[in-house]
A and B are shown apart, each in its own frame.
Chain A
Amino acid sequence: MDDIDAMFSDMLQEMDLLTQSLGEEAESAPLPKPPTIPGPQEMNFSVGFTDFNASLHDLEDNDLDALMADLVADISATEEKFATEKDTLKGSAPVAPIPSQPPSNLSFPGSSSTLRQATSSNSIAATPPPPTSKPSKEELEEQIKADKIKLALEKLKEAKVKKLVVKVEIMDGSSKTLMVDERQTVRDVIDNLFEKTHCDCNVDWSVCETNPDLQTERGFEDHENLVEPLSTWTRDTENKVIIKKKKDKYEVFRNPQNFYMWKKDKKSLKDMKEKDKEQLLEENFCGASVIVPDLEGILYLKEDGKKSWKQRYFLLRASGLYYSPKGKTKASRDLVCLVQFDNVNVYYCKEYRIKYKAPTDHCFILKHSQIQKESQYIRYLCCDDEWTMTLWVTGIRIAKYGKQLYDNYKAAVRKAAGSATWASRSIQASSSASTPSPTPKVRAANGHAPQPAVETKGSSNQTSFPPPPASMETLPPPPPDPMLPPPPPAPPSTNKVNQFPPPPQFPQSSFPPPPMDDLPPPPPPPPEDSELPPDFLPPPPPIFSSCGGEALPPPPPDPIASLPPPPALQNFASAGGAPPPPPPPPPPPAPAPAASKPAGSVRKVAPPPPKRTTPQLAAPSGGDLMSELMTAMQKKRTQ
């Protein structure tokens, strides 16, 4: 019992020290507990920092702003959580340490070890509710401990949530950068982009990946997660993510007859009645199993390792792509399976006539998504004309995804219809949806939110304003507990935030003030809400402080910052005033400009290569902590 208590209070202290030291670092404000700075952890910090820095190198300023919005949301969410937890805990069992400490420790390695992967520690988990009944003190403590461990586990999981910074090119040549979390589907990302670009929400919009090496393009399906395929890109990839209208994306649902009755001549199909189309869809997509169009015909297949293309008679079946070998009948038993669709995706190809001496330029390939370069494991196919290619590629997509495609289409249609009428309200609706159950703390923060928003506007004109820099090196590393290796997660993320210039460059129009007024600072998006509200919300610096409480390092230095809500008020007040004239952040501004300059100058078109991520790295240290906890628990039991 004592052991574990002692351990937790140790952790509490460490946590306090860390957050305070952070705050001090950023604000140069007096802190209740002077931080003692151990060496090793500092190392950790700078590793994380430089890595992140490097990866963001080639982003443009406005990209950074957008990113910062995301990060701020994460941080503020985390801060809120800390504050809430602390409160609840203090209220119920003052002896107990801060529950969120273990997780914060655990989640750090994940974020520091990966390049562009930001680890969010904003757990969705509900904070441990203060016990309502009045059980014995022991029970109470038991309960609290259990809750804490649960929280730790949740955070551990959360810490593994991978995030990528993705730059999406739009057809007009511009681009948007956004942070995508691995739980988000392509549909979420498209919706997100709709909100950012205010385009029509046509169902044809499609997020695609292009591979210049292979000269391919594939539209992601709406239900896919975006992070996963992007994680398989190589480091030096020239691949891009683009968004464009692809007519063939859902053509099969608009004119199913062209696919399911492709043998008939097109003229007779042209004016098919809507009712009949619906029936076709019903027959083929709503039964016990999806019926794949009965495509068959001659395609050219590039022979393994050779330059020649051979004609073969291909047939599409739900179970795969087959061809009938020479001299055999078309009977099922004689067919040879070229490929099954479980592990491969289908890609459109460009200009294969030149690249591979294909008979025509209407080629598609089938490959594992991981394969990025020419390989014998890629199946190259060539069609006589574009329509045939569309037919086969669509057929293969139906065979691979089945009913999911139809569901995607219906969702897209709903979205398009909804956006037409509710365009003006969509922002509000979606962002407020992400704050379903604000804790009292959050609400308190809400009260202050409007003002920060105004402040932001004021400062937004000052685009040239140098970023309030909290440089890594100067950051006081957390308190020294050799047993608990990594510092809490809050520091890494705040570091990153401090890295960036404050939001000013954001165009005013992108975040209308009215929504801001009644919107709280973006809380952590609940898992089911896959939108990323932070993307279009201005990240007003004061928000950190107003909702964060003590753990907040950002610009405005206020000694009282370490106290929960009331100080927050002061905090932001000073923050609001501070920005325009002299940069309040005391730390040397040098590192920050360094970071932002390259961002401006290196204008790479290609999105920075997402790095292969290794979230598992969080595990070892997690293991350490957990095993410690376990031994503690065991000791306790034996007593």
Chain B
Amino acid sequence: MAAWDLTVTVEDLGPDAPPLQISVTSDLHIGGVILKLVEQTNLKRDWSDHALWWEQKQQWLLRTGWTLDKCGVHADARLIFTPQHKPLRLGLPNGATLKMRACFSSPVFRTVMGICRVLNLRHPEELSLLRPVEEKKKKKDKDSSEELYDLTDVPLTAGSVQALYNGMPAHFADSPKTEAVYKMLSVSLPSPAPEAIAKLYRPASIVDKTHIHTRWLDSSRSLMQQGIQENDKLGLRFKYYTFHDMDPKYDAVRLTQLYEQARWAILLEDIDCTEEEMMLFGALQYHIGKQSLSQDMVSSCQGMDDLESALKSLEVKMVGDGNSTDMLDNMTAPELNDHLKIFRPKRLTLKGYKQYWCKFQETSISYYKSKEDRYGEPIQQLNLKGCEVAPDVNVAGQKFCIKLLIPAPEGMNEIYLRCENEKQYSQWMAACKLASKGLTLLDSSYQSEVQNIQTFLSMQRSSSAAPTSQTDESINTHSLVSPRYQKKYKPKQLTPRILEAYQNIAQLSLTSAILKFLQIWQALPDFGISYFMVRFKGSRKDEVLGIANNRLIRIDLGVGDVVKTWRYSNMRQWNVNWDIRQVAIEFDGNINIAFGCVNADCKVVHEYIGGYIFMSTRAQQQSDTLNEELFHKLTGGHEAL
């Protein structure tokens, strides 16, 4: 058989080196080509990761057993001999950028699996890669200032079982540098500066939201095939909003990154919420941030929980069988006694605050005319169980009031307690808060509650002074809410509102707070809907198709109203006409719909629907191994079949 010359560029020889010419015959298999190539370079090194990339056809020649003939390679082919794993800059859900090696030759689905294995993220099928928003290149110097975590030296291990070392996967425990990376991954980052939030891209309308999803990479093709180059930046995100088998014990990174994604979705108004919900999200962020700061890296979530349960049982022991004096100490109920000013707003009275001697005992406040009268009958006794407690605080103005709404048969009694200073306020506030839940000063959470209130007060003091991001205790409440509320409220108006919401969640552990955040996020009406601009068959205008984990939603573009909902459970079949790029779906009862995608590739839409159907199959098969084949069957295009 006639020999001919094949031109191959070997990247490792340097950018300026001329391509090598090797003499081959058409029946030489790819493995043979590589062998000849390596011999010719005279370079002694590990070539095992290298493979041939056929640039004109944009495809890898990975089947070493195939002959050149079978691959269709002729003398005019320009091949490149290049490593399959290259560094990639990954934008993580928490906003950090991580440099690490990823596979450029396998389908993106598998590449993501590899990345997730390194990052210790379970259930990689829920994540995928997307192209970043095109930044307006106004300032080029900005790139250099970007903080970069580097994991490129970490070898990609094949085994899926991760040995733990120091509470983290062994490959992170190698050096302080990689330990820092793991900390970044598994502990939520401090709140960003409000200006930073305001500067980031926010979708302003549902149309903008449809653009986000046009950027997803195709899971069935490789990175190289999709034009991704070495050192390019891609975003790693949770793509399918069904989070299977979430277990805080094993999912430190997954939970943290999911929380970060949710947090940013809320801060950047990707998902709409009400003001009340925003305040609660803000409070949870504050709490999570504070808990994360105080947390040692090694004792990550699981350590905390263990510790917590240990403390709990210790507590029980103390009550149950500590020595008798301890028990006796515990039995003498503590009280608060102090002078407070009380104000009961009534119609048509102009009376202001009046000072009384107040005693807080069990869940009640009794007040007396003076300290000397304290052994007599109180003027009134207020049982706070079930009441609403709201702060009315202005640190700058030295106003520390507690507003109580105490339910009574006739309605609610409104009473204000005015405290002298922060210390007094935090003690009484904490007591009121516990009492409203039926707990007494005896409760173990009292001290931490007092402390929480104090740190929160200090926030108000420093909020105007420290515009930078959260460093220690000081934090700007503006960094906890989306720009809309930054504009709507000044920090000193915002802080009390967040404080109010904060009181209900202050007792949560770090993990429970994160879970709570995710729970509320998932309960939002618009949660988990990915939007695409489509044009339905027979319609003359663009509409929005929302894809959620259980249904498709047709949304009117102008008004934003839901026009129609179809559930996957009623879906008979769906298919794609790749020639006219149209998705056709048939539902029970002879309902047929068909649409083409306006701004996204219809492969993305097709993959989304197939992906969700794949996700729903996971519940049945409990095995850990991922059914990759099924995924591609459900999401692949005509090429895959």
Q: Do A and B come from one complex?
A: yes
Residues of A within 8 A of B (CB): 145-146, 149-150, 153, 156, 232, 234, 261, 263, 276, 279, 283, 287-292, 294, 317-320, 322, 329-333, 335, 337, 340, 342-343, 368-373, 375-378, 616, 619, 622-623, 626-627, 629-630, 633-634, 637
Which of these binds chain A: B10-18, B323-331, B456-464, B600-608?
Answer: B323-331
The 3 closest A-B pairs by CB, nearest first: A375-B411, A370-B407, A372-B409
Chain A residues lying within 8 Å of B523, measured Cβ to Cβ, are 289-292, 317-319
Alpha-carbon gap, A322 to B246, bound state (A): 31
Given contacts A288-B518, A337-B274, whether A376 and B411 have CB atoms under 8 Å apart is yes
Q: Is the CB of B327 within 8 A of A149?
A: yes
Beta-carbon contacts under 8 Å, B544-570 to A: 550, 560, 565, 569-570
Please tell me if B251 contacts chain A, counting CB pairs below 8 Å. no
Which chain B residue shows the least CB distance to A322?
B274
Alpha-carbon gap, A279 to B246, bound state (A): 20
Chain A residues lying within 8 Å of B407, measured Cβ to Cβ, are 232, 343, 368-371, 377
Q: Is the CB of A634 within 8 A of B325?
A: yes
Within the complex, the shortest CB–CB distance from A480 to chain B, in Å, comes to 25
Which chain B residue shows the least CB distance to A332?
B272
Q: Is the CB of A333 within 8 A of B519?
A: no
Chain B residues lying within 8 Å of A291, measured Cβ to Cβ, are 523
Residues of B within 8 A of A (CB): 243, 246, 272-277, 280, 320-321, 323-325, 327-329, 331-333, 362, 386, 388, 405, 407-412, 484, 504, 515, 518-520, 522-526, 550, 560, 565, 569-570
Chain A residues lying within 8 Å of B328, measured Cβ to Cβ, are 149, 626-627, 629-630, 633
Chain B residues lying within 8 Å of A234, measured Cβ to Cβ, are 409
Which chain A residue shows the least CB distance to B327?
A153
Given contacts A150-B321, A276-B569, A288-B518, whether A371 and B411 have CB atoms under 8 Å apart is yes
Which chain A residue shows the least CB distance to B269?
A333
Alpha-carbon gap, A330 to B277, bound state (A): 16
Alpha-carbon gap, A214 to B160, bound state (A): 64
Alpha-carbon gap, A232 to B412, bound state (A): 13
Alpha-carbon gap, A333 to B504, bound state (A): 22
Which chain A residue shows the least CB distance to B321?
A150
Q: Is the CB of A371 within 8 A of B412?
A: yes
Within the complex, the shortest CB–CB distance from B29 to chain A, in Å, comes to 51
Which chain A residue shows the least CB distance to B619?
A282
Within the complex, the shortest CB–CB distance from B628 to chain A, in Å, comes to 25
Q: Is the CB of A145 within 8 A of B324?
A: yes
Alpha-carbon gap, A276 to B570, bound state (A): 9
Contact of A331 among B272, B409, B522, B524 (CB under 8 A): B272
Given contacts A146-B324, A371-B408, whether A287 and B522 have CB atoms under 8 Å apart is yes
Which of B272, B412, B504 has the most chain A CB within a 10 Å cutoff? B412
Given contacts A289-B520, A289-B522, A626-B328, whether A373 and B409 have CB atoms under 8 Å apart is yes
Supply 19 A–B pairs (Cβ within 8 Å), ascending by A. Answer: A150-B327, A317-B274, A317-B277, A317-B525, A319-B277, A320-B274, A330-B560, A333-B275, A337-B274, A343-B386, A343-B407, A368-B412, A369-B407, A370-B407, A378-B411, A623-B333, A626-B331, A629-B328, A634-B325
Chain B residues lying within 8 Å of A329, measured Cβ to Cβ, are 560
Contact of A377 among B246, B411, B484, B522 (CB under 8 A): B411
Within the complex, the shortest CB–CB distance from B171 to chain A, in Å, comes to 30
Given contacts A333-B274, A337-B274, A370-B409, whether A626 and B332 have CB atoms under 8 Å apart is yes
Alpha-carbon gap, A343 to B404, bound state (A): 14
Which chain B residue shows the least CB distance to A284?
B550
Q: Is the CB of B277 within 8 A of A153?
A: no
Alpha-carbon gap, A331 to B321, bound state (A): 56
Alpha-carbon gap, A292 to B362, bound state (A): 37
Alpha-carbon gap, A287 to B528, bound state (A): 13
Alpha-carbon gap, A126 to B331, bound state (A): 21
Given contacts A232-B386, A371-B412, A626-B328, 18 further A-B contacts (CB under 8 A): A145-B324, A146-B321, A234-B409, A283-B550, A288-B515, A289-B519, A291-B523, A320-B276, A332-B273, A332-B525, A343-B386, A370-B386, A372-B410, A378-B411, A616-B362, A619-B362, A622-B331, A633-B324
Alpha-carbon gap, A234 to B410, bound state (A): 10
Within the complex, the shortest CB–CB distance from B349 to chain A, in Å, comes to 17
Given contacts A146-B323, A319-B276, whether A333 and B484 have CB atoms under 8 Å apart is yes
Alpha-carbon gap, A633 to B325, bound state (A): 7
Chain A residues lying within 8 Å of B320, measured Cβ to Cβ, are 150
Which chain B residue shows the least CB distance to A622?
B331
Chain B residues lying within 8 Å of A373, measured Cβ to Cβ, are 409-411
Which chain A residue shows the least CB distance to B280?
A319
Alpha-carbon gap, A623 to B410, bound state (A): 34
Which chain B residue shows the least CB distance to A320?
B276
Which chain B residue shows the least CB distance to A275?
B569
Alpha-carbon gap, A634 to B325, bound state (A): 8
Chain A residues lying within 8 Å of B333, measured Cβ to Cβ, are 619, 623
Within the complex, the shortest CB–CB distance from B322 to chain A, in Å, comes to 10
Chain B residues lying within 8 Å of A335, measured Cβ to Cβ, are 274-275
Q: Is the CB of A371 within 8 A of B409?
A: yes
